[in-house]
Chains A and B, each alone.
Chain A
């Protein structure tokens, strides 16, 4: 490549150190800058090079998949590199401090686990270390681009305290919409038609309400269950109503190379096709778990507030779009 920017010249120098052509393997060991065939052929298209026989692995870095970087011009490439680096530093510190505070299951400790990964280096000398921190802790979002897609809420789980002891057998006898199998589960399962939801009612007076499509619907449904319990003769109150979990889903409308995503965002991603067809992405900020599928469908869960779902999606969308080009 001629007229190279400082980035490209740097990468070419690194590329010269690697002796990739000695490797007969076409699926090379994991290192973000090793050439993986799917990315390589599409990079050919992007860079307009001639048809290569895939056996001949290129020794220059024109095939390196930099698609995780935001869209940038030649001039601003180097500038963005340093920005991303700084951004990463800040997020890294942020992640460490929030890690100390939280003990929740969503904190991904693997994000700080580099000492454990024995990453094999490519055949000859190592990959240029300064480039490794390039993978941002939270993705660098291009300035004003919003996805235009709004995740749809699919399920809300909430809890409320009715603050009185309940006789579950009595409830199951007097209510039409109740199920109670004490041998199987120690709660009454009650359902109402509008909003279409299910509640688990425990003898302690605590209740879990699931299935609503919005926070307001969940609250309305929980109130209705409380009213049913009241009408059955119990002094039910409505204390400490809280949304515990929100699940949303949406479709980005293009296929996603999960193998590529797990390489570039390894500290957040878990992709085990032997176990589950989707990629599990544990976003740090906001603390949301995303299930990303090859079809482009995304499930977001773990939110306490609707805004977390929207924010998580806006964070992931540019990353996913980066992989669209590789398909």
Chain B
């Protein structure tokens, strides 16, 4: 092929060689394999095509807006070109597609949980997690946190309690709007009282949904257990949800102890459900009184709550005069306990490794090493013989 002749002054091309699609110069007169031609690069590989189709199908299954599909596909293409993902197994490539969808949803605040996408892909969450984290790092994506409010709405959508059905007794059917609103409030309450940070979000939403459902018609529903509720609603009962329920009830009981007109009743885990509506309505005031702020320097605000009759200052004041208990001690109801995450209130007894002792700190690393110390780690001849016999070692 002829070289190109270009004018040095104006840059216009005077003569052009034959256009080729080879990498090497044609002087070598070799046949050009397709894989070496630039045509290879312009077409999408079959693997990529299949991956893109899968991503698109998943978006349709999840009923995501079209713009999500485009974004996810573009992330997927970028990711597959990246050296860390280019050669992984097909299973991982499919997982990668799911990760791209997950990231896209999060960036648009669409509350898709990892659990959902893992079940759609039939993969284990650990594997998904590792691919997701490397995707985030390699592509440098910033992924906003899961929006709890949106999650509540989405999760409640899957509950089958809003319409009459054969297996759902009439008093169990509930109005969706009311239930969503109250569940949101309970989840908020959980968040304010440290029950949400560091925990898996779905069990909290499930427990909150149960409490809100019970409290909307306590007479008919108090006898229904958590497990039965989930079965009727057609949702899973994740194992931590029982603990979240217990923690929520403890918070509510403490709040109830600060409401004057409830003090006459002996509240327990069942009866407090009946009053969740009131507790939620006055929650800011009740939280301030039921829990002392951890920092003793801060003023304890005993302000007149909106609309709460009775004499909280009198009762609350008495409780507070007893003084804020030490942070790690558990107090019985009525006396304010510090508002702390459960892991700080019930610390598991752990063997604390002692701080380095003086003798440890004096080690220089260059101390002489005695022969006897080393010899204790070596086997004697009889031992070796016995060992050899036992293990039949050469």
Contact = CB atoms under 8 A, between A and B. Distances in A.
Contact of B363 (A177, A216, A293): A216
Contacts of B379: 173-176
A255 B194 contact: yes
26 contacts: A26-B184, A27-B149, A30-B144, A41-B284, A45-B298, A53-B306, A105-B137, A116-B107, A116-B142, A152-B356, A169-B394, A176-B383, A213-B356, A223-B369, A228-B378, A254-B294, A255-B194, A255-B294, A255-B341, A259-B197, A274-B113, A275-B114, A277-B198, A294-B341, A295-B344, A324-B295
A230 to B, nearest CB: 8
Contacts of A217: 360, 363, 365
A206 interface: no
B364 interface: yes
Given A175-B377, A224-B369, A258 B198 contact: yes
Nearest to A280: B133
A194 B360 CA distance: 10
Nearest to A112: B140
A176 B363 contact: no
For chain B, give the interface size range: 35 or more
A255 B198 CA distance: 11
Interface residues of A, number: 77
Contact of B114 (A30, A231, A274): A274
Contacts, number: 197
B343 A117 contact: no
Contact of B306 (A51, A213, A266, A270): A51
A38 interface: yes
Nearest to A31: B144
B198 A220 contact: no
A117 B388 contact: no
B223 interface: no
Interface string A170-198: 00011111000000000000001011000
A90 B394 CA distance: 65
A63 interface: no
Contact of B360 (A213, A227, A262, A273): A213
A294 B107 contact: no
Contacts of A53: 306
A265 B376 CA distance: 53
B378 A258 contact: no
B299 to A, nearest CB: 9
B378 A231 contact: yes
A224 B305 CA distance: 69
A91 B105 CA distance: 31
A204 interface: no
A327 interface: yes
Closest 9 A/B residue pairs (Cβ): A27-B149, A109-B140, A219-B365, A216-B365, A277-B198, A113-B140, A30-B144, A294-B198, A117-B142
